[in-house]
Structure 1
Amino acid sequence: MSGTDMAFSGQAITGTASASPAGLRPVLLPWLAGPAWLAAALVTHYWPDADDFPDTNLLAILFGVVGIALLIGAALRLLTVRAPWLIVLGLGLGAWEIAQAKLIALPRPFFGTPQDLLDVFITDWHRLGLSLLHSLGLLAVGYAAGSLSGIAVGIGLGRSKRFRYWTHPILRAIGPLPPVALLPLAFVLIPSSWLAGEALMALASGFPAAILTWSGIAAVDPAYYDVARTMGARERFLTFRVALPAAMPQIFVGLFMGLGASFAMLIVAEMLGVKAGLGFYMQWAQGWAAYPNMYAALFVMSAMCTGLITLLFRVRDRILVWQKDGLKW
């Protein structure tokens, strides 16, 4: 065999290897997502339930609609990246249906069925929606007040020696305390449980915002201030046009940390003092052994927290355009 023939033969072998199952996997995976959901629909509809569960037929229809939609998405090549997760989700829901609705493998009522969760969203959506709105309102006020106060305190710590002298010891004494530990004292000193919850959420979000703002301002290169002063800049310009923009990456880290701390404080406050919101809804559901309602509240809470973090990331990417690809969510 000549060298040319061997070269063509090697190229043929290479081409065959590229068409191997590993190469075809990204093409085939999107087409498996729809059948996984359709299989879950068939199991839900044709396998008899072990007990009288609500909305079984409706659940099967929903699985089937999702399966058909995924097949359409595969045909339009929209599922290239998400296909593995969609397959696992469909198979996981089908396994959950078999384990609990068909076999009751785990003790009830602690472990419900997909039908139970769907029934909660159908029958109790109004109370869940009101709880979500209350939690969002409580979180928005406390987090915004704490973040803005923390940024202001951080600016003072970074730009004023006198302010730092008087404020830093107080911050070191109170800031590291878990806000949950101050909950009984807050309910005694503040007559309104709503205001007490807001104050503790403000403390939870304010401390990391203050520390990270201070750190960001302290890390600004002094040469920036010198250049601005030579051009006639005053203290106000140095603070808001030099120090604050340069500290923005650190400030957003503090805002993310404060948001997570505010989430935790929100649920504790609603469970123990503020008799409304998703935390109170979860406590009510547990008291009545309505565990599907509790799981539905957890699902809504997860969606709320994920949505707010995503929104904060969008704001960060808009402001810090040069760092857009440095941190993902």
Structure 2
Amino acid sequence: MSGAETTYLAAAPENVGARRLGSVSVTAWLAGPVWLVSALLTWRWPDADDFPDTNVLAVGFVLIGVLLLGAAALRLLKERAAWAVALGAGLGAWEVAQAKLLALPRPFFGTPQDLLDVFITDWSKLGNSLLHSLGLLVVGYSIGSLLGIAAGIGLGRFARFRYWAHPVLRAIGPLPPVALLPLAFVLSPSSWLAGEALMALAAAFPVTVLTWSGISAVDPAFHDVARTMGASERFLIFRVALPAAMPQIFVGLFMGLGASFAMLVVAEMLGVKAGLGFYMQWAQGWAAYPNMYAALLVMSVMCTGLITLLFRIRDRILVWQKDGLKW
């Protein structure tokens, strides 16, 4: 190999890195102009119908474009630059296809102006629905998670409890909670209580199974060493078994949270007369599809925020496994 080839190979990684940095910089500087072009199209191209808040939408696009230009100048975009470009181009394409050309069938597909108008004019009802959904979800999920952890401890540590509880778990746990919805609404004194019970059931099953699995997998030597030092059963549960089973417990908590989300929407659509699920059903009944899409967006933000919060708690508790589970 010649000296020139050796020099080129040695410098190749640096050249690749420079090209990558250059491409990221170009993408970052492109994000702002894409949003500004979308704003120009929104403002100057006449709408095909009388849509609300077109000028407000254009001003919003301009503000985002200016902020993105400032972020590019301060080198803050980095890996988010491509997503900023894609979102700006996607919203601009949606605006042209629907607000300017009416390419998609109405009323099933609205315009960006329609979605923005929902948040401007109906924000109080959306916010109230969000609070109802959060209250319903937090109570049901918390009760189900606590019961699941307690049942998992009992199954993993106490043979007599396992003898009686295991058959019940295998009979009821795998049933989809939505299948029990008619029975729950008949037996429960209120639809709210029925929804809470079904969400607790949805969360409890995966938490119970994963807690039991985690506690059963603890090395028996840990318990033996603790007993030789005079540890009580309470100490063995809360200071040995539970800390060792925490990774499995958090997997169960994530699974239970997803099951609770699904049960929340079903309960609100079919029985509980409040919340985002009820709002979506109301919007669909009146063919107010922009309102339905707005509720879906709010629900997505709520669910993503709760999962992110749970991940933050997990990373705080299991600091030695911070990168072991991705979100």
Q: Fold match, TM over 0.5?
A: yes
From 81, 87, 99, the counterpart of 1:101: 99
Question: Which residue identity lines up with residue 164 of structure 2 in the other structure?
Answer: W
Separation in structure 2 between the aligned mates of residue 149 and residue 11 of structure 1, nearest angstrom:
61
**Shift, 1:24, TM fit:** 2.1
Equivalent in the alignment of 2:30: 32
Note the residue ranges of structure 2 that are not aligned, 5 or more in a row. none
Change (3 A) 1:222 1:59: same
Secondary structure in structure 2 of the residue aligned to 1:81: helix
**Shift, 1:290, TM fit:** 0.2
Equivalent in the alignment of 1:60: 58
Secondary structure in structure 1 of the residue aligned to 2:78: coil
**Shift, 1:158, TM fit:** 0.3
Separation in structure 2 between the aligned mates of residue 9 and residue 148 of structure 1, nearest angstrom:
63
Equivalent in the alignment of 1:270: 268
Secondary structure in structure 2 of the residue aligned to 1:154: helix
Change (3 A) 1:9 1:271: closer
Equivalent in the alignment of 2:135: 137
Question: Which residue identity lines up with residue 242 of structure 2 in the other structure?
Answer: L
**Shift, 1:19, TM fit:** 8.8
From 237, 240, 254, the counterpart of 1:239: 237
Separation in structure 2 between the aligned mates of residue 162 and residue 308 of structure 1, nearest angstrom:
36
From 118, 124, 132, the counterpart of 2:116: 118
Q: Deviations over 1:68-114 (max 9, x none)?
A: 00000000000011000110000000000000000000010100000
**Identity, % of aligned pairs?**
76
Change (3 A) 1:322 1:70: same
**Shift, 1:309, TM fit:** 0.1
1:158-169 matches, within 5 Å, as 158-169=156-167
Q: Deviations over 1:286-318 (max 9, x none)?
A: 000000000000000000000000000000000
Question: Which residue identity lines up with residue 205 of structure 2 in the other structure?
Answer: F
TM-score, length-scaled by structure 1: 0.95
Separation in structure 1 between the aligned mates of residue 19 and residue 244 of structure 2, nearest angstrom:
51
Secondary structure in structure 2 of the residue aligned to 1:130: helix
Change (3 A) 1:237 1:290: same
Paired residues, number: 327
Separation in structure 2 between the aligned mates of residue 113 and residue 262 of structure 1, nearest angstrom:
32
Equivalent in the alignment of 2:195: 197
From 259, 262, 272, the counterpart of 1:261: 259
Change (3 A) 1:241 1:123: same
Equivalent in the alignment of 2:173: 175
Question: Which residue identity lines up with residue 254 of structure 2 in the other structure?
Answer: F
Equivalent in the alignment of 2:186: 188
Separation in structure 2 between the aligned mates of residue 316 and residue 10 of structure 1, nearest angstrom:
46
Change (3 A) 1:253 1:13: closer
Equivalent in the alignment of 2:215: 217
RMSD between aligned alpha carbons? 2.0
Change (3 A) 1:10 1:184: closer
Equivalent in the alignment of 1:208: 206
Question: Which residue identity lines up with residue 308 of structure 1 in the other structure?
Answer: L
Question: Which residue identity lines up with residue 139 of structure 1 in the other structure?
Answer: L
TM-score, length-scaled by structure 2: 0.96
Secondary structure in structure 2 of the residue aligned to 1:109: coil
